Structure formats: structure tokens, C-alpha cells
Amino acid sequence: MTNHTALKDWVAKTAELCQPDKIVWCDGSKDEYQRMLQIMVDSGSAQWLSPERKPNSILVRSDPADVARVEDRTFICSNYEADAGPTNHWKDPEEMHEILRPLFRNCMRGRTMYIIPFSMGPVGSPIAHIGVEISDSPYVVANMHIMTRVGSKVLEVLGDDGEFVPCIHSVGKPLAFGEKDVPWPCNADNKYITHFPETKEIWSYGSGYGGNALLGKKCFALRIASVMAKEQGWMAEHMLILKLTSPQGVVKHIAAAFPSACGKTNLAMLTPTLPGWKVETVGDDIAWMKFKEDGYLYAINPENGFFGVAPGTNTKTNPNAMAALSKNSIFTNVGKTPDGDVWWEDIDRPAPDLLIDWHGKEWVHYDSVNKAAHPNARFTAPASQCPVIADNWEDPAGVKIDAILFGGRRSTGQPLALQSFSWEHGTFLGSTMASQKTAAAAGKVGELRFDPMAMLPFCGYNMADYFQHWLDMGATGGDKMPRIFYVNWFRRAEDGHWLWPGFGENSRVLKWVCERCDGAGDVVETPIGLLPTNDAIDTTGLDIPEDDMAELLRVDVDEWKQKIPLFREHYAKFGDKLPSELTKQLDSLEERLN
Ligand code: O2Y
Ligand code: MN
């Protein structure tokens, strides 16, 4: 097991509080993974899929009241409210512990308490960090096996006194003696996803789903890690990492931040349409970046798998994701076909007769309201199963990041691509990032929501301090920092047609980014940044009208002028904590537009 005294004490204290029937230390073995699946199947929580269709894979249906991250139940419990900032829900740490203690008392009665030591990043990498999750959910154990590196090898690296982030999770449904469990235990009316940035602890109660329960992901790798990164001089970002190779063999690594539901997984696994270009995946959701002795920023993907949205994933939009999920995967809230396969909206084939929906009921008909799969239905698949996983994706030294892309879903105004004038201007672009709301998020579809650096739900401290951290990183890295770009695949013409085909054609923009990193690629200076000239993006073989291309790269000065008050209003939320550099950047933009 372990001789780590602090870890053993913490486990004993937690067991005393939660009163589980049994304690199991996870070793991360294949046998253990299989045991978890069988436990879920035997208890009625999961069912095996057909070994022919989806070998060694299970289907799980959650409680309909537990289907997604719950931002309104997510708290940053810093000592001072100002340190959580205006974009987070804050609670005093003592007050939160007063709420949590009675909820956690005896909460694991009738259940097994699993101790899951996990590494975020390749075990032993200088960029990686260790966490230990205590959970009463076998679904969490199995998912953590795929999404992180679990087990004895992590305890070895931890040694007798290594640092770890303690993560406590309970579904919040103790069982009375002899009480039969429900298929998806949770406590729908009492969810708390809480983070303690000063003590670097995570406590999660009441939900068994995704980001609420797999605490290595959003809770640790983004909210707590963003605090650690600020304190220690590195970056924890909501970014994919891809490896781009030109026909001449020039390799660039690109990190990209897009809000949820803007195609990050698709971009990370893109199949280029440009002959000779290759995209390989390092990660699809999170990047941890640290300086190396050479002064450059190197990134790892702290995760080990993909927790991807199923609906909309198909062999056209993302053949590599389809291959990754073809076996050894966990499917949550998707439909099930009579031959034991999975089905979701916009998968490659029409819905068969006798399809079972995510509620476990026979699906009667296809309409836009009654979906067979929940819109946030997920697949959990090992990254190693992705056909285009990069050969260096587990390099403990990380990959040198050459470029950072920001992007969102914007039907008007924002051009196809632009490069920032400088790191500071790039930070300004990230801080004013906005995206149109999709049907998946609360609020009016199409409404613009500011989502700085795609970190709005994930920054574990005051976002104004986070902006300052970006500026500080730039000051440290100087010329060696990645070049920053802003892209937008989602422009529509006035008549509503898409101006840019997207998907594999986005490789054309990546080619220009690659050229710009080497000081080539044509640009024109505009008030909002350095735009590609009309022929700088390689459109060879692409049937795109010249007018559409011109529109994609047009800067509508009047439209941009109208955005200035919105930017000021967005910045005003941060009061005098907003770095003066960003106000300066906004003033300069306004001047350039006038
Ligand atoms: O609904 C959840 O719990 C998952 S959210 C998620 C999962 C994978 C990658 N990104 C996200 C996200 O919300 O950004
Ligand atoms: Mn994400």
C-alpha cells in the first residue's frame, strides 16, 4: 500500500467521517478495471454492450436529474470573496465545511470506499501532479482508470511524503442495512462541487456525473491547478494540444482554447484536407504548460482518455473519435440498438427499430425534442485507442508549444483568423473571448457570452488575477512565448449559408498559423490584429467563392466600434483588479478603430 503518513491519516479520517462498509485501495490494474465493470453490471447500474459491436464496453444510464456539470452548485471557497472573483460562486471555507460535514457524515454507509491514487500527466513527469480521490462510486473508479493514470505506480512516485491533492467524492446516498441500491445513486437536491484553493482540497457531494465526480478533470486539472499554476509560475488551461506536421516535415505544436461545444475534440483529431499535412492528437481538453530551462513553454495533456460528447460524433465529423470509442469504452446516456450497439443523434446510421433511449424506454419516434441520447451523453475512451494519437503524447518532458489559438462560435464580425500584435494583445484577445450560446447551455441560443480563455467555469480564482498571470507569464517568457491567434470557423453569410466549410478544411488555417510561427505567411495590419491577406490562406482545390473569402477576412470597423462598450461593460465586472494593461489594450483598439 503506502507509508505516506499524511495520506494514511487523511484516509482514516475520511473513513471515520463517511463510515463505509469496506475500504479498497485501487491498484490501477486491468483486473481491477474489469472488476468495476462487473460490479456495475451485477448491481444493475450498467449493461454490457455486444462483444461484437463494442468489445469490453458498457452502457450506463444516469438519473435524469444528474446529467451534466452543475455550475450553479460549484463553489470556490477561498478565505476572501475577492479571491474567488466576480465570475465564481464563493462561500467562506469554514461555512462550507459546516455545510459539508453533516452531509458527509455516514454518507458511505452500505457502500465501498475506493481510494484512487492518480497522476494527472505521465507518471513522474516534472509537469505532472498527483491527486488521490476517495469515492463511493465504482463508475468513478472505472472512469478514472480511463481518464487518468491510476494505481500503485502513482503511490511509488508519491513516496512517503510527496504532495497530493485530496479529492473527496460521494454520491450522497447511504444505504440502510439491507436496502436495495438504485441503478444511479445520487442526491439530486443536494449537490455541492467545492474547491478550497488555499488548502488545495476538493469535496464533491451528490452527483456521480462527469466533471462533478471525476475530480481529476475540471476540479483538479483546471480549478485547483489554475491556482497552483499562478502560485508556481505555470499555466493550467482549457486547451486541446495538437501536433501539426507539414509536407516538408516541419513540426509545430498548437494549443487551442474554445468554449465547450465548439468542436475542440474534432479539431484535436482533425483529418487535414491539404495534401501532405498531418494532424496528431496530444490532448483534447486540458493543457498544463511549464517553462523549461531553454525558456520555452512545454505542455502535457494531464489526461489519459477522452470524455467526449457523443451526439454529433460520427465518421464524417470525427472518424478518429469513432475509432477511439470502438472498444474498451464506457457510454453514458446514449441510446442502445437491439443488436447491443450504441446509437445517438447524428451518428452514421438511421435509428433502427426497437431502439432503447437513454431513459431505458423504447424510443417511439425521432423528433427534435425527444432525443434517443441525452444531448450531453458521453463516451469515455482511452486516448491510446485514437488512431492519430501523437507518438510524443506521453513524453514526460511535454511538447514545445509554438502557437495558441483562441476561438468561439461567432456567426458575424469575427474574421476567420487573425494573429495578435504581441503577447499582451493576445492576452487582451483571450480576455474578451466570446461565443454564442448553444442549445446545451442555459440562456438564449445565439446570445453572446464572454468566456475569457474558455475558462469562465474553470478558473479557480479571481479572473482579473488570472489575466495578470497571463501578462506575467508573457513578461517572463518574452520572445519565446507562443504566438497567439484568434480563429472563427462559424461565420455565416447574410443569407445564412456557412462561409467556411470547417472540419478538415481548418487545416488551411493551421497551415497559415504554422507559416506565421516561422515568420512567413502574408498579413495585413488591421485595427483588430494581423489578418491573412486574401490569398494567404491556401484554398487550392477548395470551391469557395472569392466574395466569401473576402467576407471571411473583412473587418467591419463600424461593427467593431459597437463592441467597445460591450468590452468595457465586461471589463467593469472586475473593478480595479483588472490589469491596467488590458484597459490600455482596449483604449488602443478604440483609437485604431477611429
Ligand atoms: O458534463 C460534464 O460533466 C462534462 S463537461 C466536459 C467534459 C469533457 C470536456 N469538456 C467539458 C466541458 O464542459 O468543457
Ligand atoms: Mn472542456
CATH of the domain at 528: 3.90.228.20
- Ligand 1 atom nearest to 238, measured from its CA: 14
How confident is the model at residue 260, as a pLDDT? 83
CA angle 35, 40, 45 (to 5 degrees): 175
Does any domain span residue 442?
A: yes
Average pLDDT of the segment spanning 337-341: 98
How far from the centroid of its chain's Cα atoms is residue 497's Cα?
A: 29
User: Rounded distance, CA 310 to CA 235, Å?
Assistant: 29
Known catalytic membership, residue 262: yes
What is the per-residue pLDDT for 1?
81
pLDDT tens profile 28-55 = 999 999 999 999 999 999 999 999 999 9
User: Is the model more confident about 261 or about 142?
Assistant: 142
Q: How many separate helices (H) and strands (E) can be counted in the chain?
A: 16, 30
Where does a domain end: 171, 198, 233?
233
Q: Which residue's alpha carbon is at the smallest distance from atom 14 of ligand 1?
A: 260
Cell of 364: 417511439
Whether 189 is in a domain gets the answer yes
Tell me which of 66, 212, 214, 217 to substitute to probe ligand 1's pocket, judged by most ligand atoms within 8 Å of the beta carbon: 217
Task: Give the end of a domain, one of 233, 252, 271.
Answer: 233
* 299 occurs within a structural domain: no
> Grid coordinates 457523443 are at which residue?
310
Amino acid at 7: L
**Residues, the chain:** 594
How far, in Å, CA of 107 to CA of 124, rounded? 34
Compute the mean pLDDT over every residue in the chain, rounded to the nearest whole number.
Answer: 96
Strand partners, 400: 298
Q: Please answer whether residues 54 and 322 qualify as being in contact, where contact means their C-beta atoms are separated by less than 8 angstroms.
A: no
Percent pLDDT > 70 in the chain is 98
Contacts of 39 (CB under 8 A, 6+ apart): 138
Distance in angstroms (rounded) separating the CA atoms of residues 506 and 489: 8
Name the grid cell of 38. 462487473
- Closest ligand (CA of 378): 1
What stretch of H or E contains 18? helix 5-18
Q: How many domains does the chain have?
A: 2
Position 390: which residue type?
A
What's the CA-to-centroid distance between 210 and ligand 1, angstroms? 7
**Any idea which ligand is nearest the CA of 257?**
2
Point out which residues pair with 486 in neighbouring strands.
406, 418
Q: Give the Å distance between the CA of 261 and the centre of ligand 1.
A: 9
Return the pLDDT at 304.
98
Q: For ligand 1, atom 6, name the residue with the nearest CA.
A: 211
Nearest atom in ligand 1 to the alpha carbon of residue 458 is 14
At residue 439, does pLDDT exceed 60?
Answer: no
Catalytic residue among 262, 459, 514, 517: 262
Residue among 62, 218, 313 whose CB has most ligand 1 atoms within 8 A, to mutate = 218
Contact 498, 488 (CB under 8 A): no
262, pLDDT greater than 60: yes
**Dihedral angle sign, alpha carbons of residues 263, 266, 270, 273:** negative
Average pLDDT for residues 447-464, to the nearest whole number?
95
Q: What is the CATH number of the domain that holds 165?
A: 3.40.449.10
Contact 200, 227 (CB under 8 A): yes
Ligand of minimum distance to the alpha carbon of 213: 1
Tens-digit pLDDT profile for residues 346-381: 999 999 999 999 999 999 876 678 899 999 999 999
Q: Which residues pair with 305 in a beta bridge?
A: 382
Asked whether residue 442 carries a pLDDT value surpassing 90, the answer given is: no
Sign of CA dihedral 469, 303, 263, 522: positive
| Pocket of ligand 1, beta carbon within 6 A | 68-69, 209-211, 260, 285, 307, 376
pLDDT tens digit sequence for 141-176: 999 999 999 999 999 999 999 999 999 999 999 999
Spacing, Cα 286 to ligand 2 middle (Å): 7
H or E segment and range at residue 297: strand 297-300
| Average pLDDT, integer, range 218-234 | 98
Structure confidence at residue 121 (pLDDT): 98
* Per-residue confidence (pLDDT) for residue 221, from 0 to 100: 98
In a domain, 244, yes or no: no
Distance from C-alpha of 77 to C-alpha of 243, rounded to nearest angstrom: 37
- 503 pLDDT band (50/70/90 cuts)? very high
Does residue 443 carry a pLDDT above 80?
Answer: no
Distance between CA atoms of residues 548 and 550, nearest Å = 5
Alpha carbons 228 and 322: distance in angstroms, whole number: 35
Q: Nearest ligand to the C-alpha of residue 239? A: 2
Looking at ligand 1, which residue's alpha carbon is closest to its atom 1?
Answer: 68
> What distance in angstroms lies between residue 254's CA and the mean position of ligand 1's atoms?
21
Arithmetic mean of pLDDT, 203-226: 98
Distance CA 507, CA 279 (A): 8
What atom in ligand 1 is closest to the CA of residue 210? 3
pLDDT for 106 equals 98
Which of 233, 256, 274 represents a domain boundary (last residue)? 233
Q: Which pLDDT score, from 0 to 100, does residue 47 have?
A: 98
Q: What pTM was estimated for this model as a whole?
A: 0.97
Question: Is residue 416 within 8 Å of residue 537, measured between CB atoms?
Answer: yes
Q: For residue 437, what pLDDT is reported?
A: 75
Q: What's the gap in Å between 174 CA and the centre of ligand 2? A: 31
The amino acid occupying position 248 is Q
Give one word for 5, left, alpha or beta, with left for phi > 0 and alpha for psi -120 to 50: alpha
Query: Is 353 contained in some domain?
Result: no
Does any domain span residue 514?
Answer: yes
| Band of pLDDT at residue 436, cut at 50, 70 and 90 | confident
Q: How far apart are CA 549 and CA 534, in angstroms?
A: 7
Instruction: Indicate the range of 87-91, 256-260, 391-395 predicted with least confidence.
Output: 256-260
pLDDT in tens, 382-420: 999 999 999 999 999 999 999 999 998 888 889 999 999
Expressed in angstroms, the distance from the first to the final Cα of the chain is: 67
Q: Ligand 2 centre from 213 Cα, in Å?
A: 15
Give the pairing of strands 378-382 and 417-419.
Answer: unpaired
Q: Write the secondary structure of 187-230 as one string of H (helix), E (strand) and C (coil).
A: CCCCCEEEEECCCCEEEEECCCCHHHHCCHHHHHHHHHHHHHHH
Identify whether the C-beta of residue 220 lies closer than 8 Å to the C-beta of residue 303: no
Nearest Cα neighbor of 264 from 439, 70, 408, 377 is 408
Mean pLDDT, rounded, for 52-67:
98
SS3 at position 273: coil
Query: Considering the domain boundaries, does residue 19 fall inside one?
Result: yes
Q: What is the pLDDT of residue 438?
A: 63
Residue 341 lies in a domain: no
Rounded to whole angstroms, the Cα distance separating 74 from 2 reads 32
Secondary structure element (H or E) that encloses residue 118, with its range: strand 112-120
Mutate to test the pocket of ligand 1, among 62, 146, 285, 374 (most ligand atoms within 8 A of CB): 285
Whether residue 193 contacts residue 208, with contact meaning beta carbons closer than 8 Å, is answered with no
Domain containing 228 equals: 5-46+68-233
pLDDT bin (cut points 50, 70, 90) of residue 528 is: very high
pLDDT tens per residue across span 162-213? 999 999 999 999 999 999 999 999 999 999 999 999 999 999 999 999 999 9
